[in-house]
Amino acid sequence: MSLALVQSRALLGLHAPEVTVEVHLANGLPSFSLVGLADVEVKEARERVRSALLNAGLDFPSNKRITVNLAPADLPKDSGRFDLPIAIGILAASGQIDARRLAGWTFAGELSLSGELRPVRGALATSLALHQQREQVRQVLPPGSAEEAAWVPESRVFCARHLLDVVQAFLHRPEGAAEPAPTPGWQRMKNAPLPACASGAEMADVKGQVQAKRALEIAAAGGHSLLLIGPPGAGKSMLAQRFADLLPPMSVDEALQTAALASLSGRFCAQRWAQRPTASPHHTASAVALVGGGSPPRPGEISLAHHGVLFLDEFPEFSRAALEALREPLETGRITIARAAQRAEFPARFQLIAAMNPCPCGFWGSKLQRCRCTPDQVARYQGKLSGPLLDRIDLHVEVPALPAAQLLQTDADDSADASPMAESTAQIRERVVRAHALALERQGMPNQALQGRAIDQHLQLAPAASDFVQSAAARLGWSGRSLHRVLKVARTIADLAASPRIETPHVAEAVQYRRALLGPH
């Protein structure tokens, strides 16, 4: 047979469009042509496939005109994932493998010159897309990629170490057998994801900062964004790095989505399965690094923080374009990257934790050190953050510097407030989980995600609390967005107190967290 069809999958966001690798052998001047909008990495497969077949002791039809088409032709293809299906297609077209046995199988893998299979990017994302599309296909993947893909429930994934293992699996399969028999280099992977694990960072390590810890608890329970403002060394980064462990446990679907996004970027780590991610890009990161981009589009830091935390330290030092690009994802929970040739959408339901100094020197308002900045410098520094962006951050909290006596205090010291200071991550997370469960039982989503009529339906605002918040909104000049965000924070505070209605104390506490940056008087 001179024509063979082999199935593979491309990557386009979290989708895995089908790619048919068509291989045709014809008489004529010997050549090896590869068409179908292939990137440079894919075109280099010609040399890898040729060497892999020869070094594996297989017959390469060097006296034929070889044409490989990656269909559909208008879909961009990148990476070395098509090496294996191209090699299998050449073997099938030259009669070394029965092409009929390839039906219902999809192949992906990069070939070394010796024929060894190397892992490819996005294996888990591909397997998750197949699962969501209810496609019952069997995948052949290299070691490292097969383990990822097998974590998707009901997936049928086979691991092959060498090109010869794939060839032998299809050559020696008994008639009527649904699957090839296992060998040392060929086996079916079991669907057995690892148990969830914690990072081990402990909130009790942070001394003092009772108000900031309370704000972190509220943010974790309701899915709210948070801005920490304080001088250098006050503990802002320590608090932010421990925030992810306060969040409720991930569901299987959330863990799969997060792992699929990490797999797309080549950052998948089995040891972090079902652990809330924390993305901490440097303040020199560009807008494309934050929201994603490139050709083909790849996820940015906000998507890698999906169902987790995006921690932006030195918040005003980020470029204006990068910060303003966060406005839409903070509202919608997704980001759409449009390019001339294609369009990709990535989920970005993250919790923003930002940290900043109050002024360029960092000590404006500090009781421990004197500020060196002029009022104009302070105003210019704080003015780097636009009003619309600050309007989308639910909680604004001051993190003051602690005196040396409080920092040196130990658990054995007698102190009136030793108990709240010594609260562990597990204790706080227990309250967060209860409040989060109340919100899900009431409305099916976290409080931060309430929109439109759902806000009026589920807030359950007491009359006295309604009068209080109306007075505060009129006095402070809040926008409609600010008012709704205060009410959603108050709803979370009420859930933490196990209160069915939002009472005046809940609103009063929420108003304290809704403040604009204050420059020097």
Eight-class DSSP state of 267: -
- Asked if residue 140 and residue 93 are part of one domain, the reply reads yes
**492 in Cβ contact with 435 (< 8 Å):** yes
Same domain, 100 and 143: yes
Distance separating alpha carbons of residues 348 and 328, to the nearest angstrom: 10
Q: What per-residue string of b and e applies to 439-453 under the rule 16 or more CB within 10 Å gives b? A: beeebeebbbebeee
- The answer to whether the CB of 492 falls within 8 A of the CB of 222 is yes
Q: What pLDDT is recorded for position 111? A: 97
Query: Which pLDDT tens digit goes with each residue over 366-409?
Result: 877 888 999 999 999 999 999 889 989 999 999 998 887 777 77
**CA 340/CA 45 separation, integer angstroms:** 26
Q: Are the C-beta atoms of 152 and 192 separated by less than 8 Å?
A: no
DSSP string, 84-152: HHHHHHHHHHTTSS-GGGGTTEEE--EEPTTSBEE--TTHHHHHHHHHHTT---EEEE-TTHHHHHTTS
Query: What count of other Cβ atoms lies within 10 Å of the Cβ of residue 184?
Result: 7
pTM of the model: 0.87
Q: What is the DSSP string of 439-506?
A: HHHHHSS-GGG--THHHHHH--B-HHHHHHHHHHHHHHT--HHHHHHHHHHHHHHHHHTT-SSB-HHH
Domain assignment of residue 467, yes or no: no
β-bridge mates for residue 69, sequence order: 22, 35
Q: Is residue 220 in some structural domain?
A: yes
Same domain for 152 and 218? Answer: no
> CATH number for the domain including 379?
3.40.50.300
- pLDDT the model gives residue 343: 82
Cα–Cα distance, 34 to 374 (Å, whole number): 65
Place of tokens 């959603």: 488
- 11-53 per-position pLDDT tens digit: 888 889 999 999 999 998 999 999 998 888 889 999 999 999 9
Residue 21 lies in a domain: yes
**Residue 176, pLDDT score:** 60
List, in order, residues 6 or more apart from 64 with CB less than 8 Å away: 25, 26, 27, 28, 30, 94
CATH of the domain at 64: 3.30.230.10
Q: Does 465 reside within a domain?
A: no
- In this structure, the answer to whether residues 253 and 166 fall within a common structural domain is no
Q: How many domains, the chain?
A: 2
pLDDT of amino acid 516 = 56
Q: Assess whether 339 and 371 both reside in one domain.
A: yes
pLDDT value, residue 417:
45
Last residue in a domain, options 188, 223, 254 = 188
Residues 321 and 392 both lie in one domain: yes
Q: Residues 214, 152: one domain?
A: no
Question: What is the domain extent for residue 24?
Answer: 3-188
Instruction: Pinpoint the alpha helices (H) of 266-307.
Output: 287-291, 301-304
Residue 135 CA to its chain's centroid (Å): 24
The per-residue pLDDT for 489 is 96
pLDDT value for 200: 66
What pLDDT is stored for residue 199 in this prediction? 61
Q: Which of 188, 217, 244 is the last residue in one of the domains?
A: 188
Instruction: Output the six-digit token pair for 215.
Output: 């704000």
Q: Is residue 13 part of a domain?
A: yes
Q: How far apart are CA 487 and CA 95, in angstroms?
A: 70
Q: Do 40 and 174 have their domain in common?
A: yes
According to the model, what pLDDT value does residue 521 have? 39
72 and 25 both lie in a single domain:
yes
Q: Give the per-residue pLDDT at 515.
A: 72
What DSSP designation does 307 have? T
- Residue 59 falls within a domain, yes or no? yes
Let me know whether 253 and 360 are in one domain: yes
Q: Is residue 357 part of a domain?
A: yes
Q: And the tokens for 449?
A: 């995600």
Return all residues near 399 (Cβ < 8 A) that are at least 6 apart.
209, 212, 228, 229, 230, 234, 235, 236, 239
C-alpha span between 291 and 267 (Å, rounded): 16
Q: How many CA atoms lie within 13 A of 34 on its CB side?
A: 23
Is 158 in a helix, a strand, or coil?
A: strand
300, 288 Cβ separation under 8 angstroms: yes
Considering the domain architecture, whether residues 63 and 35 belong to the same structural domain is answered as yes
DSSP SS3 for 337: strand
> Which of 143, 161, 188 is at the close of a domain?
188
Residues of the chain under the 50 pLDDT cut: 414-420, 519-521
Same-domain check for residues 172 and 257: no
Structural domain contains residue 154:
yes
